[in-house]
Structure 1
Amino acid sequence: MSSNSAEPNKSTGQYHSLKGTVVEAVGNLTGAESWQESGKQEHAQGEAEYKAAEAKGYAEGTVDRIGGKKDSIIGAVTGDSTQQNAGNLRKNKGEAQQNINS
């Protein structure tokens, strides 16, 4: 994962994956084994960071989807349309976040 951030990030994961691929390709063209190896490592780290960010986003979406559904049901049962609407919005946001990260 990226050493300058505690949280996994899709953008930096993609950047490091692409950069690693380029470094590896340069190593392949020049025969520089150290570049080949460092490129492979950076590509793998970038892919791992991307997948970790994706999993984190999916999990956060799940929390919003379930919490929103709960709030929507409680609002419907208690007749609180504000809570019901807020719950529906949160549920929809969670579903969208899951779709983006699946």
Structure 2
Amino acid sequence: MASNNNPSIISGHAQYAKGYAEETIGNVTGNKEWQESGKQDAKAGIDEMKSASQNKSSEPAASGIGGKVEELAGKATGCEGMEKEGAERQAKA
């Protein structure tokens, strides 16, 4: 979560991307620990993004790249709201 204990879309994106990268490395190398760690980090990032979306803080809008990550995370989790917001952020960037 964000350092101020408030959920943040931006830090959630970073956590999701970190987890995705870890899981990918684990998949390529066959390392089960990396795969599991990546899954947990990605889920934590998704949970933080969902929470931040519900709280609608006044943080700056994510970049187009962040919007793409949010859109993909929404697709992966079946969260239509996250998917839609990600697409909107991309269009605004």
Shorter-chain TM-score tier: 0.5 to 0.7
How far 1:4 sits from its partner (Å)? Answer: 3.6
Rg comparison, structure with higher value: 1
String of CA shifts for 1:47-89, please: whole Å, max 9, x gaps. Answer: 000010000018x9xxxxxxxxxxxxxxxxxxxxxxxxxxxxx
Identity of aligned residues (%): 33
Distance of aligned partners of 1:55 and 1:3 in 2 relative to their CA distance in 1, 3 Å threshold = closer
Partner of 1:7: 6
Matches within 5 A, 1:36-55: 36-55=35-54
Partner of 2:25: 26
2:41 and 2:4 map into 1 onto residues whose CA distance is 15
Matches within 5 A, 1:66-85: none
Structure 2 counterpart SS, 1:16? helix
Moved over 6 A (4+): none
Structure 2 length-normalised TM? 0.58
Q: Which amino acid aligns with 1:42?
A: D
Structure 1 length-normalised TM? 0.53
2:38 and 2:4 map into 1 onto residues whose CA distance is 20
Structure 2 counterpart SS, 1:26? helix
Q: Which amino acid aligns with 1:10?
A: I
Give unpaired runs (5+ residues) of structure 2. 59-84, 87-93
Which protein has the bigger helix share? 1
Count of aligned residue pairs for this structure pair: 60
In 1, are the aligned partners of 2:19 and 2:39 still within 8 Å (CA)?
yes
RMSD: 2.3
Structure 2 counterpart SS, 1:48? helix
